[in-house]
Structure 1
Amino acid sequence: MSNDLDDDFALFREQVKVDRRIRSETYQAPRQQRRIRSQQNTEQRTRQQQAEFFFSDNFRAYFPEGPVRFCADGESSHILKQLRRGDYPPELLLDLHGMTQAVAKRELGALLRACVRQQVECCAVMSGHGKGILKENLPHWLVQHPAVRAFHQAPAAYGGNATLLVLLK
């Protein structure tokens, strides 16, 4: 019986023998477009990494009692007095209300990068009062960025205790 079955399979194979392969009729997108998308995604990831690169959650700077203030090495401490008085009006404002720490770091990095690109001298970053998590971390993040010359708590006209005026290189 198995011999008859083998003969039947052999006969079937001979009858349905094909001379050429059947090609799929489905359309396949060119590979080049996928590479372009992957390059765009890579560039976007690189920009995000650059924006977040400068801000470590583990770094803690020392700030003296009183209003939050910082002056980079090599800068005149007179800049702090000018910031406190509001002599530098902010050209850009970033409001961090309702953001998570990760989003706030990304937005802060994007703000500082935009300020450097557009040659903005002073910007304001509003963290609000809330639970104080962003307000506490914001100065520690700003100290790490190389473009920051100085920052000081803003005068009441620009947001008071809930805002930092940031002076950039």
Structure 2
Amino acid sequence: MPDVTGLGRARPVSKPKPESPRSPAPPQDRSAERRLRRGRVEVDARIDLHGMTQDAARTALGHFLHGARSRGFRCVLVITGKGKALSRLRSEGESATGVLKRLLPDWLAEAELRHLVTGFAPAHRRHGGDGAFYVTIRAL
């Protein structure tokens, strides 16, 4: 029987997909991606989080990224360090990464920092290699 009231059936509202807990990938521009991989990117500023506690490093990162964006920086270097691998883990062949290195992607995905960052990528050897990341800042 046709719907004479004009109201029709209610359609279920689709829920938005939850965002990934990780920050977006490096720039989609192939030339920019190639420059990143080769370490030929101009780093506007850098922060070294070595020796900081998780809370201190997270706070410092937030202040640093807010300041970098307000200054108009586009690419910054965040040095987390490689972390200390326990000798037991090394002997078993397992890889152990530093706490700050492991937490950086989660911090960049948090609501407070997500709007500042367009992506991040591991740094080239000349900029710290496994212990550092390039973070690209969203333009104002």
* Residue pair 1:112, 1:147 contacting (<8 A) in 2 also: yes
Matched residue of 1:61: which SS? coil
Superposed counterparts of 1:1-169, under 5 Å: 61=21, 70-71=24-25, 76=28, 78=30, 79-131=32-84, 132-144=98-110, 145-169=114-138
CA distance, structure 1, for counterparts of residue 119 and residue 80 of structure 2: 17
Q: Alignment identity in percent?
A: 32
CA distance, structure 1, for counterparts of residue 47 and residue 130 of structure 2: 15
CA distance, structure 1, for counterparts of residue 24 and residue 127 of structure 2: 18
- What amino acid does structure 2 have at the position aligned with 1:133? V
Higher relative contact order (CA 8 A, sep 6+): 2
CA distance, structure 1, for counterparts of residue 106 and residue 20 of structure 2: 6
Relative to structure 1, the CA distance from residue 70 to residue 80 in structure 2 (aligned partners, 3 Å threshold; closer, same or farther) is farther
- Unaligned runs of 5+ residues in structure 1 are 1-58, 63-68
Deviation (angstroms), 1:150: 1.3
TM-score, length-normalised on structure 2?
0.65
Matched residue of 1:71: which SS? coil
Structure with greater helix share of residues: 1
CA distance, structure 2, for counterparts of residue 142 and residue 84 of structure 1: 20
* Residue pair 1:80, 1:151 contacting (<8 A) in 2 also: no
CA distance, structure 2, for counterparts of residue 105 and residue 85 of structure 1: 28
* Residue pair 1:96, 1:127 contacting (<8 A) in 2 also: yes
Q: Deviations over 1:68-105 (max 9, x none)?
A: x8427xx6253443322223221111101110111111
CA distance, structure 2, for counterparts of residue 140 and residue 77 of structure 1: 24
Matched residue of 2:120: which SS? strand
Deviation (angstroms), 1:60: 7.4
CA distance, structure 1, for counterparts of residue 64 and residue 83 of structure 2: 22
Relative to structure 1, the CA distance from residue 88 to residue 143 in structure 2 (aligned partners, 3 Å threshold; closer, same or farther) is farther
